[in-house]
Structure 1
Amino acid sequence: MNKQTSRAALTTGQAVTLVGGGALDDRDLETAMALAPVLAAADSGAGALLARGHMPEAVFGDFDSIAESDAARIPPGRLFRIEEQDSTDFHKALSRIEAPLVLAVGFLGARVDHQLAVLNTLVQVNRPPCLLLGPHEVIFHLPPAFALDMVAGETVSLFPLLPVAGRSEGLEWPIDGLAFAPGGQIGTSNRALGPVRIEMEGPGMIALLPRRHVAGVIAALTLPGDGA
C-alpha cells in the first residue's frame, strides 16, 4: 500500500470513471465505463466495483470506510492511502488523477452533506475536468467558455459556489449583468431556447444539465484550449 502520495498517482491518456461509496446505480456505472474506461475508486467505492466484478486501477482515500476484505483483494501498488483529514476522499482522488476527464458516479443520491462537499471540490480542483453523473442531471464546474447544442425548453440550472458573473446566449433568461453569489442571486431552472453558450468571468459556477447530454458535455469540457 502506498502512503501519503503526491499528485498524478494515476496518469492516463483516457477518461477515468471514478466510483464513490454513495448510491451507485448499475446503469450509471455502465454509462460511465462506456465513456471513461479507466476505473478508479474513492475509498469504499472500491467495494462497489469489486462486487460488480471490476478491479480498480487505483483507490484513493484515508481508508476509514473500505472493508479490509476488499482492500486485501486489490494489489498493494494500486492502494493510495492519504491520511490527512482536511479533505474528502473525493478531493483526495480527483486531485491525484491526471487524465483528460473524470466521470464520477456513486457520489450523488446518498447523504446531502457528502454531496455538498463533492460540489465544493468541483470548484476547488479544476484539473482534470470532472463531470458528476446523477439520475437526472450531469453536474460540472463551468469553464470560462462552454457551448452545447440543446433543445428548446430543456432545463439549464446554474448555481454559484463563489461570487461570479458571466454572459449567455440561447437562454430564456440571459445571465448578462447578474451578480451571482451563494446566499444571493442563483440561476436554477433556466431554459434553453436552442444551442446554448455561456461565458464566465471567473470560477465558481456549477452547471446542472439534463443527463442525456453527458456525451456532449464531455466533448465540450475536453476541447483543446477550453481554459477550465
Structure 2
Amino acid sequence: MITTIVHVASPVTLIGGADLDDSDLNICLKVAPSVVAADGGADHALRKGLQPLAVIGDMDSASPAARQAFADVLHPIDEQDTTDFEKCLTRIQASLIMAAGFLGGRLDHTLSVLGVLARLRACHVVLIVRDDVCVLLPEGNSVWHLRPGDRAALLPLGPARVTSDGLRWDLAARRMAPDGVVSSSNAVARPVVRLDVTGPVLLTLPRAAWAVVTDAVRAR
C-alpha cells in the first residue's frame, strides 16, 4: 500500500535531478511556492535556498550535503521497480504539480518520465523545460486558448484517438500511437483549440504558453 507523504490543497513544485535552468524553476515557483524534491532534485533546492516539504526517492543521487540539510524531511523509498518521478507522483496529493528538472537530460530518463505520465494518467502534472511546456491531455473534450502561429504537438504515449478543431492540420477521430501516427509538427491556427481525446496524448507547446496551460489544468 502506498502512503501519501505530501497532501496539500495548493499547487506543488516538484524538482528533479536533471539539468535545471533557473528560469524553468522560477516559472514553477511563481505558480507553486511549495516544493518537493525528487532525490537528486534536493541539490537544486539546496543551491536555490529552498526548503522542501519532502525529499522523496531511493536516495542514490542526492549529495551528502543535501541529505544532511534536509535530514528531517527525507523519505527514502527502497523500490527499484519505479523511478523517483513515479515515487513522487504516487505519494503527492495536490491539484497541480509543476515539474522541472525531469526532461532534456538522458533520453532513457525522459522516456521513463513520459511513460509514468501515461501509466498514471497524470493530467495534473505540467512539465517545464527550456523550450517547452508539456501536459497530458484529459480524456474527452478540452478547450485551449492559444496563440495562433505557435507550434503545438500532439504526441501519443500509447494507443489513442484524437479529434481536433483549431490546428493547422486538424485530426478527425484519428487513431494515433507512438509507433504509428503522431502530430509532432502541428501549429495553432485559431485562438480557441478544441480537442477530443481517448488514450494518453501529450500536448507540447512553447514554454511561453505555461500560464495558459496551468490555468487550463486549474480550471478542471
The two structures have a TM-score, normalised by structure 2, of: 0.94
Q: 1:128 Cα shift?
A: 6.6
Matched residue, 2:205: 209
Q: Does 1:140 align with 2:130?
A: no
Question: What do you get for the CA RMSD once the two structures are aligned?
Answer: 1.4
Structure 1 Cα separation of the partners of residues 188 and 38 of structure 2: 34
Q: Which amino acid aligns with 1:81?
A: P
Q: Which amino acid aligns with 1:119?
A: L
Structure 2 gaps, min length 5: none
Match of 2:81, SS state, is coil
Structure 2 Cα separation of the partners of residues 8 and 101 of structure 1: 16
Residues 4-46 of structure 1 deviation map (CA, whole Å, 9 limit, x = unaligned)? x834210111110000000111111111101111100100100
Structure 1 Cα separation of the partners of residues 97 and 159 of structure 2: 25
Match of 2:148, SS state, is coil
Q: 1:166 Cα shift?
A: 2.0
Match of 2:134, SS state, is strand
Of 8, 12, 15, the residue aligned with 2:11 is 15
Preserved contact between residue 97 and residue 128 of structure 1 (Cα < 8 Å): no
Matched residue, 1:25: 21
Q: 1:135 Cα shift?
A: 0.9
Residues 170-211 of structure 1 deviation map (CA, whole Å, 9 limit, x = unaligned)? 01111113110121111111111111111102x311110111
Q: Does 1:175 align with 2:171?
A: yes
Structure 1 Cα separation of the partners of residues 4 and 219 of structure 2: 21
Preserved contact between residue 40 and residue 63 of structure 2 (Cα < 8 Å): yes
Q: Does 1:85 align with 2:80?
A: yes
Q: Which amino acid aligns with 1:129?
A: H
Structure 2 Cα separation of the partners of residues 107 and 60 of structure 1: 14
Matched residue, 1:196: 193
Preserved contact between residue 19 and residue 101 of structure 2 (Cα < 8 Å): yes
Q: Which amino acid aligns with 1:142?
A: L
Structure 1 gaps, min length 5: none
Deviating beyond 3 angstroms after TM superposition, the runs of 4 or more aligned structure 1 residues are: none
Q: Does 1:47 align with 2:43?
A: yes
Q: 1:148 Cα shift?
A: 1.5
Preserved contact between residue 146 and residue 221 of structure 1 (Cα < 8 Å): no
Structure 1 Cα separation of the partners of residues 133 and 68 of structure 2: 33
Match of 1:49, SS state, is helix
Matched residue, 2:150: 154
Q: Which is worse superposed, 144-153 or 170-179?
A: 144-153
Distance 1:189-1:127 versus aligned 2 partners, 3 A rule: closer
Preserved contact between residue 108 and residue 134 of structure 1 (Cα < 8 Å): yes
Q: Indicate the percent of aligned positions where both proteins have the same amino acid.
A: 36
Structure 1 Cα separation of the partners of residues 114 and 154 of structure 2: 12
Match of 2:189, SS state, is strand
Matched residue, 1:129: 124
Q: Which amino acid aligns with 2:66?
A: D
Q: Which amino acid aligns with 1:146?
A: S
